[in-house]
Amino acid sequence: MHFTVSQKRKTKLGDYRHPFKGSPHKISVNGDLNRYAFLITTLHEMAHLTTFERFGNRIKPHGDEWKNEFKAISQPILAKNILPEDVTLALNNYLKNAKASSCSDDRLYRVLKRYDKRVGVHLEELKTGAIFKLNGKTFVKGKRLRSRFECDELSSQKKYRVLGLAEVEVLTSA
């Protein structure tokens, strides 16, 4: 297996690639993650590797087989009580029905964000109508849609759904 600590990526925390044409399994995890997010992401990707070893590519990437494998490889970490209590509780809850990304579980994502070194302003903290920047684009915050907000990008007038926990640069508050 080839393991890489990668630069920050906007769209994913980690990645797994199965062996192809003689190349080994490949796992990459973003190096900017806090220690707990890094560990959980690594376990997530390792579960893909062990699931591939057992079932090949005949199953869904985040199907029941993967979920069971993720639970199984997480148990030794949880049993050793090396994680803070809030992370342990959130991870145990997440493992009941793990999703494709830890970011998709609001509770786990919020708990893991507590351990980030640099904490910016989250979109959900801004008032409706506030103007902010995200990934080089300028937006106006709109109405809440569950965990996301409908935001208008100023230059194109396109509507985007932005996660409330997205760290943004505030340009003007409403």
User: Which residues, other chains included, contact 61 with Cβ-Cβ below 8 Å and sequence gap of 6+?
Assistant: 48, 100
Q: Which residues of the chain have pLDDT under 70?
A: 119
In order of their start, the domains of the chain are: 2-113 (no CATH), 121-172 (2.30.30.30)
**Distance of alpha carbon 131 from alpha carbon 151, whole angstroms:** 10
> The whole model's pTM is what?
0.81
Rg of the chain's alpha carbons, rounded to an integer? Answer: 18
Digit-coded pLDDT (tens) for 28-69: 999 999 999 999 999 999 999 999 999 998 999 899 999 999
